[in-house]
């Protein structure tokens, strides 16, 4: 039996002028979407407006991959108003929810 493990994604670090200010992990799904598993601006750099630039990198990555991804998907906690505002501002739509979290999608 031949088994194989293939790396299909990785943690990305986001630097501004050589300083690491944030990170994200986005992985392809079986349905050829891109799922955002983790997205963070480090605490000392929050409130500086960097989050939109980082999210644009995620979106660009989805569009530029071959084959291009259909959507960016993510779960966000319902009480994370700052993140929900950010995602909505960038065109993400609510596509579902569970007890604690909202499922959002951005068609690419």
Ligand X SMILES: CC(C)(COP(=O)(O)OP(=O)(O)OC[C@H]1O[C@@H](n2cnc3c(N)ncnc32)[C@H](O)[C@@H]1OP(=O)(O)O)[C@@H](O)C(=O)NCCC(=O)NCCS
Judged by the rule CB under 6 A, the positions of this chain that interact with ligand X are 39-41, 46-52, 74, 76, 80-83, 85-86, 89
Instruction: Report the residue number, 66 or 88, with the smaller CB distance to ligand X.
Output: 88
CB of 3 to ligand X, least distance (A): 33
Strand order of the β-sheet with 93-97 is 10-16, 19-28, 34-41, 71-77, 101-107, 93-97
CB of 84 to ligand X, least distance (A): 7
Distance CA 78, CA 101 (A): 5
CB of 85 to ligand X, least distance (A): 3
């Amino acid at each position: 039996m031949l088994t194989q493990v293939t790396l299909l994604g990785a943690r990305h670090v986001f630097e501004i002028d050589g300083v690491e200010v944030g990170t994200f992990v986005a992985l392809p799904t079986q349905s050829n979407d891109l799922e955002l598993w983790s997205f963070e601006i480090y605490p000392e750099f929050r409130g500086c407006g960097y989050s939109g630039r980082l999210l644009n990198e995620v979106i660009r990555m989805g569009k530029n991959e071959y084959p291009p991804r259909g959507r960016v998907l993510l779960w966000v906690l319902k009480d994370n108003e700052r993140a929900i505002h950010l995602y909505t501002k960038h065109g993400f739509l609510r596509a579902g929810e569970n007890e604690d979290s909202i499922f959002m999608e951005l068609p690419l």
